[in-house]
């Protein structure tokens, strides 16, 4: 089943915004077993839109259109769709009630301009918009389904998830599909591929693996497609369990989890507390932890000790160690971790000290060298890493690596 996506509007063509809508839609469609044949971004011009519709419908059975549904003059999608299907706009009473309701909630009167929002082409089925004023539209014409949606990401996503995808799946009797993602950290894509090569080669044709790499982490998405739900579920679960075993050393979570939520859950469930002492990461570990709602249950705070005097004064790092070993050393990062456990009276701590660059490197300690320590009230574990020459990537890699080290420390997985 082939789908094409057409995004309408000049913002993408002038490079003002990145087209994240299409990537998200493509991802969701693929997860449902629909393959996207082409994505086209076109301008707010009638002839250009008409041409894009004609071309797309010659190649695909479903054409998804986003954008150009606002109330202003430059939004011409609906008018153009009328011309394309040789029909006219009619008021949809249900949609009009939705618009009225939304305006009432915001304390406005419905104007003539907004009344237009409730008009849809006569040959379409209106798709009501639960989070905005512009309705979506579903057309069937010469065996092709056309769906027009708002370009506002939040509204489009809501409509796709709750209305369009279920309707598409029902309309085309999509195959049964399963997805499951394992999240790994601390191993590169190619080494990971080597380690699971044999298993991957032996996968049945209806189960596929995708590698989704980002800085210092790789997500492994297993997808299964089939008509026999039971058989698929059994084989999928078997392969998923095999993969879990193979990558257990690197896997920190599954599906929508993150290192912050996994570590937070571990702490919360055992009633333990955490603090960080950060030099090169500059507060990014604390910042990541506090992005999770409810983190105040386990996170007490952080000493961002960029200057050495702060390491001495707040974390009880010895001046001698700073002089003898340097701030980027096993001795100092261990003292920082122990220091913040004591100073903030917490159960666990993370400490980092490194050279994020671009300056400050040496032959012995090149840019990208980072020492990370994790500690509790009784012991401390420290390890050195080399993350490369890019400042932002080094900080990001150090942040994720720290959180994963703490996770393994809590689980007694570090020797």
Note the residues at the interface with a second copy (CB under 8 A). Answer: 12-20, 22-30, 35-43, 48, 52, 55, 210, 212, 276, 278, 281-287, 289-291, 293-296, 299-307, 309-310, 314, 343-344, 356-359, 391-392, 395
CB 121, CB 81: distance < 8 Å: yes
- Least Å from the CB of residue 387 to a second copy: 15
Specify the residue, 191 or 291, whose C-beta has the smaller distance to a second copy: 291
Nearest CB to a second copy, comparing residues 120 and 164: 164
Contact 231, 207 (CB under 8 A): no
Instruction: Give the pairing of strands 176-185 and 217-226.
Output: antiparallel
Q: Which is nearer to a second copy, 128 or 180 (CB)?
A: 180
CB 320, min distance to a second copy, A: 21
Which burial class, exposed, middle or buried, applies to 68 when counting CB atoms under 10 A from its CB (0-12, 13-18, 19+)? buried
For a second copy, give the closer residue by CB, 65 or 120: 65
Q: Whose CA is closest to 370, among 402, 339, 338, 340? A: 402
Cross-strand pairs, 149 = 66
Q: Shortest Cβ distance from residue 212 to a second copy (Å)?
A: 7
For a second copy, the closer CB: 89 or 209: 209
Smallest distance, Å, CB 156 to a second copy? 14
Q: Which is nearer to a second copy, 193 or 242 (CB)?
A: 193
Identity of the residue, 95 or 303, whose beta carbon is nearer to a second copy in the bound complex: 303
For the bound state, the minimum distance from the C-beta of residue 245 to a second copy, rounded and expressed in Å, comes to 26
Q: How far is the CB of 233 from a second copy (least distance, A)?
A: 23
Which of 134, 133, 136, 131 shows the shortest CA–CA distance to 154? Answer: 131
Burial of 328 (0-12, 13-18, 19+ CB in 10 A): buried
Q: Which is nearer to a second copy, 118 or 373 (CB)?
A: 373
The DSSP string of 207-224 is EEEEEEEETTEEEEEEEE
Cis bond upstream, residue 141 (ω within 30)? no
Structure tokens at 212: 């989704």
Nearest-approach distance from CB 61 to a second copy, in angstroms: 16
Nearer to a second copy, 20 or 271 (CB): 20
- 242 versus 310: smaller Cβ distance to a second copy: 310
CA distance 373 to 335: 9
CB of 350 to a second copy, least distance (A): 12
Q: Is 303 exposed, middle or buried (0-12, 13-18, 19+ CB in 10 A)?
A: buried
Nearer to a second copy, 36 or 159 (CB): 36
> Which element (helix H / strand E) includes 6?
strand 2-8
Give the separation between CA 272 and CA 276, rounded to whole angstroms: 14
CB of 154 to a second copy, least distance (A): 11
Least Å from the CB of residue 235 to a second copy = 22
| Chain position carrying tokens 């080669």 | 201
Sign of the four-CA dihedral 321, 324, 327, 328: negative
Distance CA 221, CA 251 (A): 12
Q: How far is the CB of 355 from a second copy (least distance, A)?
A: 11
Instruction: Answer for the pair 339, 276: CB distance below 8 angstroms, yes or no.
Output: no
Q: ∠ CA(141), CA(142), CA(143), 5° rounding?
A: 90
**Cβ–Cβ contacts within 10 Å for residue 177, how many?**
16
Give the angle 370-375-380 at the CA atoms, nearest 5°.
80
Q: For the beta carbon of residue 41, count every other beta carbon within 10 angstroms.
A: 19
């Amino acid at each position: 089943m082939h789908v094409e996506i057409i995004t309408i509007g000049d913002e993408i063509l002038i490079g003002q915004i990145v087209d994240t809508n299409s990537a998200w839609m493509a991802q969701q469609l693929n997860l449902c077993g629909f393959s996207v044949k082409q994505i086209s971004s076109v301008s707010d011009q009638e002839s250009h839109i008409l041409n894009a519709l004609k071309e797309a419908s010659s190649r695909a059975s479903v054409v998804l259109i986003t954008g150009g549904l606002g109330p202003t003059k430059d939004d011409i999608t609906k008018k153009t769709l009328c011309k394309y299907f040789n029909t006219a706009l009619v008021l949809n009473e249900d949609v009009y009630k939705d618009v009225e309701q939304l305006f009432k909630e915001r304390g406005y009167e419905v104007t003539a301009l907004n009344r237009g929002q409730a008009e849809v082409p006569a040959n379409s089925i209106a798709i009501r918009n639960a989070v905005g004023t512009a309705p979506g539209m579903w057309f069937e014409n010469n065996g092709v389904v056309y769906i027009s949606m708002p370009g506002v990401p939040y509204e489009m996503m809501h409509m796709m998830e709750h209305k369009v995808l279920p309707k598409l799946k029902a309309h085309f009797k999509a195959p049964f599909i399963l997805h499951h993602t394992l999240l790994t950290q601390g191993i590169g894509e190619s080494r990971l591929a080597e380690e699971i090569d044999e298993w991957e080669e032996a996968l049945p044709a209806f189960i596929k693996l995708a590698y989704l790499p980002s800085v210092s982490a790789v997500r492994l998405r297993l997808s299964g497609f089939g008509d026999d739900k039971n058989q698929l579920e059994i084989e999928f679960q078997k392969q998923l369990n095999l993969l879990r075993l193979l990558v257990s050393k690197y896997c920190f979570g599954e599906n929508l989890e993150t290192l912050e939520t996994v570590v937070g859950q571990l702490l919360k469930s055992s009633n333990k507390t955490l603090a960080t002492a950060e030099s090169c990461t500059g507060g990014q570990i604390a910042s990541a932890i506090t992005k999770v709602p409810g983190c105040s249950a386990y996170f007490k705070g952080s000493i961002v000790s960029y200057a050495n005097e702060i390491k001495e004064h707040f974390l009880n790092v010895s001046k001698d160690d700073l002089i003898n070993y340097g701030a980027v050393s096993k001795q100092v990062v261990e003292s920082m971790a122990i220091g913040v456990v004591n100073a903030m009276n917490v159960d666990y701590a993370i400490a980092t000290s490194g050279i994020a660059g671009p300056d400050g490197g040496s032959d012995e300690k090149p840019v990208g060298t980072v020492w990370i320590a994790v500690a509790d009230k009784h012991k401390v574990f420290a390890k050195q890493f080399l993350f490369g020459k890019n400042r932002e990537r080094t900080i990001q890699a150090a942040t994720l690596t720290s959180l994963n080290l703490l996770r393994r420390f809590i689980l007694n997985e570090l020797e």
